[in-house]
Amino acid sequence: MTTTQPATSAFALTPEQRAWCARLRALGAERLAPSAAGGEAGRVNRPLLRELGELGLLARAVPAEPPWRRVSALDLCLLRESLAYSCPEAETALALQGLGAGPVADAGTAEQRARWLPAVAAGRAVAAFALSEPEAGSDAAALQLRAEPEPGGTGASGDTGRSGGTGGWRLTGTKTWISNAPWADFYTVFARTGEAPGSRGVTAFLVPADRPGLSGEPLDMLAPHALGTLTFDAVRVTRADLLGEPGDGFRIAMRTLNLFRPSVGAFAVGMAQAALDASLEHAGQRPAFGGVLRDLQAVSHQLAEMATRTEAARLLVYAAASAYDSGGGSGGDVALRAAMAKLLATETAQYVVDAAVQLHGAAALQRGHLLEHLYREVRAPRIYEGASEVQRSVIAKELYKELSKEVRHP
């Protein structure tokens, strides 16, 4: 596998890519699923992370060595889709490592990268992306975690450089719905330093989990994942903990999300494909009305609809990832394509899994059934990393932005 792919691969994967995906699905079922099953529900599974590291899979989501090259969005999508098909727990563990370390790879210093990225890619350190708050979920720019300057430190009116001075900030407030909390080894934390109102007053910090004043509690979720609330009680950070510059935090967060949003769609596509394949097998074997289920036109048409929607979502995800890669992670339509891909794929997966449950009947509602598991897993992606409603707002905003450009430059 190369680290970048031609744009045409969005519509026709190469034989090499298809073979890699098949190997990943096999690895998920044969190597990773047993490790996933051995973990404690709702907690970070460190043995699973170490196995992902040993297999070299985490290095596909986290730059593992200098010069810390940007990961390929398409590779990330293929990886997440394939693992989601056979082992959603491994997929989620990998994705959260990439998301948590993403701001470090994007904006970290040489020292921060060398300290944390190899450990994350090896599965030795657990990363977490700490953006959401009790009153700032969908409206991420409204976050309220305060970064108050210490005397002689860096404030809204002070020196905003990394060097010089010995002061810092004190972080005070709460983060919630944070994946891998409270068990992560470090958090990429977004706090308000106040250089400007709204999103322009947000700064990113790398905060090790052992900082005095930082504590956390786990949350009990419908689909049991490592998810928790963090409390910052005057947690001290310094210039050495900055990711980027003061006031750049929101842009750093959005750049990370623009990389990972299409791959959330890929995660959803992987689950949709697993539900579709289970339904095809079930419909071909289940006796019904003198034949099997697939002989019923209503069932065959339902399967056709499920397959068509899944493939449409897959192609939009691949196209968004290819656009990200071909533009070097930037470009006028990256945010638009990422939002479209996440929206369509996650909504499609919800439809496909629900339809699969209906086709299987009561058996699919039994604890331990593949579809019972997928039914719980598939709901969250429509909310996290930007809810479906937020994606629609992003899409509309980007469309009107393009329209205004055309009006100015006919």
**Distance between CA 54 and CA 274 in Å, rounded?**
26
CATH 2.40.110.10 assigned to 127-247:
yes
Per residue in 319-344, pLDDT (tens digit) is 999 999 988 777 668 999 999 999 99
Per residue in 160-187, pLDDT (tens digit) is 444 334 579 999 999 999 999 999 999 9
CATH topology of domain 251-408: Butyryl-CoA Dehydrogenase, subunit A; domain 3 (1.20.140)
Q: Mapping DSSP to helix (H, G, I), strand (E, B) and coil, where does residue 183 land?
A: coil
> Per DSSP, which regions of 349-396 are E strands?
none
**Per-residue model confidence (pLDDT) at position 408:** 65
**Per-residue model confidence (pLDDT) at position 367:** 94
Give the start-to-end residue ranges of the domains of the chain: 7-122, 127-247, 251-408
Per residue in 278-294, pLDDT (tens digit) is 999 999 999 999 999 99
CATH topology of domain 7-122: Butyryl-Coa Dehydrogenase, subunit A; domain 1 (1.10.540)
Residue 165 burial by CB count (10 A; 0-12/13-18/19+): exposed, middle or buried?
A: middle
Residue 384 burial by CB count (10 A; 0-12/13-18/19+): exposed, middle or buried?
A: middle
CA end-to-end span of the chain, whole Å? 42
Phi and psi at residue 34, in whole multiples of 5°? Answer: -60, -40
**Distance between CA 333 and CA 327 in Å, rounded?**
10
Q: What angle do CA 183, 124, 36 make, to 5 degrees?
A: 70
Tokens 């593992």 -> residue: 64
> Is 385 a known active-site residue?
yes
Per-residue pLDDT of the chain (410 residues; tens, 9 = 90+): 444 444 445 578 899 999 999 999 999 999 999 999 999 988 999 999 999 999 999 999 999 998 888 899 999 999 999 999 999 999 999 999 999 999 999 999 999 999 999 999 999 999 999 999 998 877 877 899 999 998 865 554 344 444 334 579 999 999 999 999 999 999 999 999 987 777 889 999 999 999 999 999 999 988 878 999 999 999 999 999 999 999 999 999 999 998 999 999 999 999 999 999 999 999 999 999 999 999 999 999 999 999 999 999 999 999 999 999 988 777 668 999 999 999 999 999 999 999 999 999 999 999 999 999 999 999 999 999 889 999 999 999 999 987 877 666 65
**Per-residue model confidence (pLDDT) at position 167:** 72
Residue 146 burial by CB count (10 A; 0-12/13-18/19+): exposed, middle or buried?
A: middle
Is the backbone peptide bond immediately before 63 cis, with ω within 30 degrees of 0? Answer: no
The share of the chain scoring above pLDDT 70, in percent, equals 92
**Per-residue model confidence (pLDDT) at position 2:** 41
Around 318, how many Cα atoms within 13 Å sit in the side-chain half-sphere? 21
**Per-residue model confidence (pLDDT) at position 4:** 43
Q: Which of 51, 91, 385, 398 is catalytic?
A: 385
**Per-residue model confidence (pLDDT) at position 406:** 67
Q: Mapping DSSP to helix (H, G, I), strand (E, B) and coil, where does residue 179 land?
A: strand
